[in-house]
Chain A
Amino acid sequence: MTATTTAPPVPALEIRGLVAEYRTRRRLGGRGRTVQAVAGVDLTLAQGHTLGLVGETGCGKSTLGRTLVRLVRPAAGSVHAEGIDVAGAKGVRLRQLHRTVQLVFQDPYASLNPRMSVRALLAEPLKVHGLHVRRREERIRELLDLVGLDPAHAGRYPYQFSGGQRQRLGIARALAVEPRILVLDEPVSALDVSVQAGVINLLDDLQRDLGLSYLFIAHDLSVVRQISDEVAVMYLGRIVEHGPAEQLYDHPAHPYTQALLSAVPVPDPRVERARKRIVLTGDVPSPLSPPSGCRFRTRCWKATDRCAAVAPPAVDLGGGHTAACHYPALADTPAGNGA
């Protein structure tokens, strides 16, 4: 790799007060309603680290990931990637941004243009950014080798590869511009277990060898634990808990995190059958009309009047562990994770 910049003291990603909205479809004569998919998020990703972002469908984690690569424009707040203002970047800075942050998509079938050969897929980013002009073919072979694919297959088309191999192609394409940060949006959730493990290991190796920083977005909490240094839990557009992975998984403080972790089945019958499960009642409220105060209160067994009145700020629990709850569980109280 030629990316030899020494790590500057700035964090890989710095997200402050981020709000991202989308409009519902216009009805006849109406203007559509504005939905806040991301409703004020602060997050920091340290250089060379992996931040796991977990949450259920519709919590805004994917939208957040997409604001980092300018597929979604933030409505408020700021995002800096290696010091570059993501929303404001223009011209040279914008090209620099494209070379700094890359996205790996969930669906290995939809994310590769079916009409382009592997060579064309990998050559495109090189051409666009004028990289390795004289040794492009060699660089394509390097990239394929880097993700564990046979460099001799550069002439093939996506349909000739299996799901896991396609996901590796997607990763190779993202790496072609030598980015510093990868936003991984559910990169293994479409893959079978035995294949998924290979891609997770690959991501691990790439991070170690290339010094990449990862924002790993997933709904599978087991996968996130395996790969993340830090984890943030998202619910209805807000971060409800954030902390070092071990700390958060072993001592979840926010009721939602506790419920989430307790709901994940463990592939171990004795552990699984002995666990106390917090089964939440009801469903996630519509983001069109989120509850006042704490957004989780409608499903929370601890909720009081205070939760409806005041949105809880992130409370520091020590060691970089924060929870946005008026009544967080303390580390010494037994939590929902019964393992």
Chain B
Amino acid sequence: MTPTPPLLAVEDLTVRYRTDAGPVTAVDNLSFEVAAGSTLGIVGESGSGKTAASMALMGLLPRTAEVTGSARLHGQELLGRPDSAMRDIRGRRIAVIFQDALSALNPMMTIGAQLAEAVRVHDRSRSAGELRERAVELLDLVGIPSPAARLDQYPHEYSGGMRQRALIAMGIANDPDILVADEPTTALDVTVQAQVLDVIRRVQERTGTAVLLITHDLGVVAGLADRIMVMYAGAKLEEGGVEQIFYRPAHPYTRGLLAALPRIDRRLARLEPIPGQPPQPHDRPGGCLFRARCRHADPDRCTRPLPAPAEVSAGHLTSCVRVHEIASAG
């Protein structure tokens, strides 16, 4: 898709958990790319594997998880590295913002100290004064008013939105190539969410970092993402540019999600829920995983093993094998 090699190239990523009930596949043969400086939105409902996939890239999954495949950042393999090597990459090349800012910050350390630590871990050359300067600069970048004074406060003295912004400041402390934001605004109120999304946008403009935005909220990706990947039951069902996904959705699941969504700008006559529910993680049949809920499912073709997602137009891929028939049917 991009003439230059991508910043992040993920190939055949599979995550399995060993459980008492047998292995559970959380992510199934997932491949995608992220171009430098761009934003990829990963959209999916609970159990879709979107978080497991991103945590696998960071080497942050529990030991019971078995990760196979490949993920290369600047051509450098991320998977299967020892913890120590991963620690060096995490925070410096690839950083993460979690959903729950309160538990991601240490309540016993000032925000300034935590920011300084985030910088020092990867860059020991800076003096205390330089670290403080950098911390002020970071807080300013994420829009915290009077950053110098706020530096010496503890997390509990920050409001929810400010904590989330402080967390973003820690994430970008070392100018990472890619920022993984896992449901960064889910716990926040809508006015605060707007502030945080604004900050992510601004940080991206200033630092040129790529963003991997994981969310269940289609509204958030509509405003922020360049490309969108739709996940379901551990697999990629569709991927494309943001306008392709919203205006020409190819997969019945994507279409279903968009039709099920109430809108702020107009009232719909009636929402269209998707019938049924996703297959249980330990009981996933072969073929298309969405077929049990799909009104276009073909008892023969959709039960066969799916080929890799194919292009329906330039840069727009879907795993649906009946996409052309469905498109003509409307």
Which of A197, A226, A284: most chain B CB closer than 10 A? Answer: A197
Which residue of A is nearest B217, CB measured? A265
Tell me if B222 counts as interface (CB < 8 A to partner A): yes
A280–B256 touching, CB < 8 Å: no
Tell me if A283 counts as interface (CB < 8 A to partner B): yes
**Number of residue pairs A-B, CB distance < 8 angstroms:** 133
A222-B263, A268-B246 known; A193-B191 Cβ under 8 A: no
Tell me if B195 counts as interface (CB < 8 A to partner A): yes
Interfacial chain B residues near A333, Cβ < 8 Å: none
Interfacial chain B residues near A245, Cβ < 8 Å: 267
Report which of B45, B265, B268 forms a contact with A194, defined as CB distance below 8 A: B45
Interfacial chain B residues near A204, Cβ < 8 Å: 270
Which of B198, B243, B262: most chain A CB closer than 10 A? Answer: B262
Given contacts A201-B271, A265-B222, A267-B261, 19 further A-B contacts (CB under 8 A): A56-B190, A56-B192, A192-B216, A200-B262, A201-B273, A222-B264, A225-B262, A246-B267, A249-B265, A265-B193, A266-B222, A266-B263, A268-B246, A269-B222, A269-B243, A272-B219, A273-B223, A337-B265, A339-B264
Which of A193, A225, A261, A281: most chain B CB closer than 10 A? Answer: A193
B191–A56 touching, CB < 8 Å: yes
User: Which residues in A have some Cβ–Cβ distance to B below 8 Å?
Assistant: 56-57, 162, 164, 192-198, 200-201, 204, 219-223, 225-226, 245-246, 249, 259-273, 277, 279-281, 283-284, 337, 339
Interfacial chain B residues near A271, Cβ < 8 Å: 265
Q: In the complex, A262→B220 CA distance in Å?
A: 13
Smallest CB separation, A291 vs chain B (Å): 16
Interfacial chain B residues near A192, Cβ < 8 Å: 45-46, 216
A265-B217, A272-B222 known; A193-B195 Cβ under 8 A: no
Tell me if B257 counts as interface (CB < 8 A to partner A): yes
16 contacts between A and B (CB under 8 A): A194-B257, A196-B260, A197-B273, A197-B274, A201-B271, A223-B262, A225-B263, A249-B264, A260-B191, A266-B219, A269-B242, A269-B243, A269-B246, A277-B194, A280-B191, A337-B264
Interfacial chain A residues near B270, Cβ < 8 Å: 201, 204
Interfacial chain A residues near B261, Cβ < 8 Å: 193, 197, 222, 267
**8 A Cβ contacts from B189-214 to A:** 189-195, 197-198
Interfacial chain B residues near A198, Cβ < 8 Å: 273
Tell me if B81 counts as interface (CB < 8 A to partner A): no
Smallest CB separation, A147 vs chain B (Å): 14
Smallest CB separation, B21 vs chain A (Å): 15
Interfacial chain A residues near B243, Cβ < 8 Å: 269-270
